[in-house]
């Protein structure tokens, strides 16, 4: 009777002590299991969800931890995606050639910013650095002036709206409303080959895992406390000697980098990037998974995003016109009954365990008492 309890207690303590390693190991096993059980098509969908999950990890950090309601992550998603798309287009072109849409406008010379991303290493770095730097500049301007709360949310939404308008307006160099599409290769790998599609899925999965681990590390560090402090008591933090703006810029910029990387992987996975993928509505949808999963938790944003995107694909196939309503209903239900998202229920399991254990202990005690009475009698 005693031995199994102890061993399960030890195992429990072991798991809780090395929970991160345990979780990482399980996740890696799952990542490698997926290609075995899913078709190439489904794997592609999963990779697409993972691209959104990367954005969600960043939103979890910036909004859940840092309190910055970023309604405009589509902009950073788009920046990363366009950098990648430009690079992939350049890979296909022979020397002196221009993409088809430019040829239609009679352009024979590639624009300067295209040439920047010809080098694969520079392109790969830029998908994160370009959104990160732009977010940092924006952050310094915005947070340095003390803009926060709803004003920041509106500003970020206005920016993403302006960005998609800009992309459409610059149709001679960005492909306009059609965006960039029809990519045949990814850094020299043929995109039509299922093996390479699996590889891209692996890249997406491990990037997501890496981002979750980075955010976990930040949450556990002093920086994590600083970010929460700035969210809840910005003035207090200022009068404790910190510069709240720089802490916010850090979180916001990192979130933008994650979104940029997500956008960059979106391009080879889906095969197209256009302003309609990054406008106001897509940006809000990027938030949906975070809200439903629980913005203040580490894994909530990822799990929520995967669930919402999966539901979106399934339900919009089955009921194309009803999906929007169903999503709206999900939103209302979550906000009404679990304002902190599904992550709110993570306390339910320990609570249940406690109840069951407590119950059994009570029963044992009662039994023992009964026995004692019997002995006395």
Residues that bind other proteins (CB under 8 A): 217-218, 220-223, 225-226, 228-229, 232-233, 235-243
Least separation in angstroms between CB 223 and other proteins:
5
Which is closer to other proteins, CB of 53 or CB of 237? Answer: 237
Encoding tokens for residue 139? 């952050």
Least separation in angstroms between CB 248 and other proteins:
14
Which is closer to other proteins, CB of 7 or CB of 243? Answer: 243
Residue 29 to residue 326: CA distance in whole angstroms = 33
Which is closer to other proteins, CB of 94 or CB of 241? Answer: 241
Least separation in angstroms between CB 68 and other proteins:
16
Q: Could you tell me which of 45, 81, 46 has the C-alpha nearest to residue 256? A: 81
Least separation in angstroms between CB 209 and other proteins:
19
CB–CB of 243/146 below 8 Å? no
Which is closer to other proteins, CB of 17 or CB of 32? Answer: 17
Which is closer to other proteins, CB of 172 or CB of 238? Answer: 238
Least separation in angstroms between CB 316 and other proteins:
37
Which is closer to other proteins, CB of 242 or CB of 323? Answer: 242
Residue 86 to residue 90: CA distance in whole angstroms = 6
**How far, in Å, are 362, 365, 369 from residue 372 at the CA level?**
15, 10, 5
Which is closer to other proteins, CB of 67 or CB of 80? Answer: 67
Least separation in angstroms between CB 205 and other proteins:
25
Least separation in angstroms between CB 56 and other proteins:
21
């Amino acid at each position: 009777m005693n031995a199994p309890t102890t061993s399960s207690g030890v195992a429990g303590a072991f798991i809780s002590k090395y929970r991160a390693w345990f979780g990482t190991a399980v996740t890696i096993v799952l990542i490698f299991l997926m290609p075995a059980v899913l078709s190439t098509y489904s794997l592609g969908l999963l990779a697409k969800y993972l691209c959104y999950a990367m954005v969600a990890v960043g939103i979890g950090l910036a909004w859940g931890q840092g309190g910055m309601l970023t309604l405009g992550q589509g902009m950073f998603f788009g920046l990363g995606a366009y950098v990648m798309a430009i690079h992939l287009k350049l890979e296909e072109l022979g020397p002196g050639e221009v993409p088809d849409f430019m040829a239609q406008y009679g352009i024979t010379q590639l624009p300067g910013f295209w040439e920047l991303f010809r080098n694969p290493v520079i392109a790969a770095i830029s998908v994160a650095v370009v959104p990160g730097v732009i977010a940092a500049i924006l952050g310094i301007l915005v947070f340095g002036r003390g803009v926060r709360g709803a004003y920041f949310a509106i500003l970020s939404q206005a920016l993403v709206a302006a960005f998609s308008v800009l992309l459409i307006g610059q149709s001679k160099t960005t492909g306009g409303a059609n965006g960039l599409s029809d990519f045949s290769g990814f850094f020299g790998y043929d995109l039509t080959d299922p093996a390479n599609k699996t590889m891209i899925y692996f890249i997406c999965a491990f990037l997501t895992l890496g981002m979750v681990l980075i955010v976990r590390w930040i949450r556990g560090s002093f920086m994590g406390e600083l970010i929460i402090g700035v969210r809840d008591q910005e003035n207090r933090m200022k009068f404790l000697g910190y510069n709240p703006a720089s802490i916010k810029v850090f979180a916001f910029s990192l979130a933008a980098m994650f979104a940029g990387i997500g956008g960059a992987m979106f391009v080879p996975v889906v095969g197209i990037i256009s302003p309609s993928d990054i406008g106001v509505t897509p940006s809000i949808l990027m938030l949906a998974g975070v809200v439903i999963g629980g913005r203040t938790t580490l894994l909530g944003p990822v799990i929520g995003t995967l669930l919402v995107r999966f539901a979106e694909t399934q339900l919009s196939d089955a009921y194309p016109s009803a999906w929007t309503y169903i999503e709206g209903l999900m939103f209302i239900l979550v906000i009404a009954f679990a304002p902190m998202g599904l992550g709110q229920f993570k306390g339910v399991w320990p609570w249940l365990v406690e109840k069951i254990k407590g119950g059994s202990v009570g029963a044992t005690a009662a039994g023992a008492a009964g026995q004692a009475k019997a002995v006395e009698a």
